[in-house]
Amino acid sequence: MENHNRILGFIYIISGALQILTMIFLYAFFSAFFPFLSEEAGPDGAWVFEWLLPFIGTIAVCVVIVFAIPGIIAGAGLLNHKKWALTLALILGIFKLFSFPIGTAIGIYTIWVYA
């Protein structure tokens, strides 16, 4: 059981870090790409690129941070043998079940380790 907690800790830390890095990359890519689309949209469609898409981007960044930071904290807690970390990992694992296919595998493994 000790090895599974350690493996699960590493999985959560790596998963959280990759989520944050992916979001940073996508945010930078779309921030550089949207000005070109705004020019092509003309004055009637420019409001979408000036207001709506940055709003959606901010919401997406917040959602990723809400799930990535607790995942990193749960992973660090599992590596440091904290009792609360397995409960946090179980809650995050249940949410990860909806993220097909890798998140589903992590969620199933988390539930299996917890049971």
Q: What is the pLDDT of residue 36?
A: 79
Q: Which residue has the tokens 């990193």?
A: 72
Q: How far apart are alpha carbons 20 and 113 in whole angstroms?
A: 25
Q: What is the pLDDT of residue 49?
A: 74
The answer, yes or no, to whether residue 47 has pLDDT greater than 80, is: no
**Which letter does DSSP use for residue 69 in this model?**
H
Q: Does residue 33 or residue 70 have the better pLDDT? A: 70
Q: What is the pLDDT of residue 45?
A: 74
Q: By the 8 A CB rule, do 78 and 93 touch?
A: no
6, two tokens: 């350690």
Highest mean pLDDT (candidates 21-30, 55-64, 82-91): 82-91
The answer, yes or no, to whether residue 46 has pLDDT greater than 90, is: no
Amino acid at 104: T
The answer, yes or no, to whether residue 38 has pLDDT greater than 90, is: no
The answer, yes or no, to whether residue 43 has pLDDT greater than 90, is: no
Q: By the 8 A CB rule, do 102 and 1 touch?
A: no
In which band, very low, low, confident or very high, does the pLDDT at 84 lie, cut at 50, 70 and 90? Answer: very high
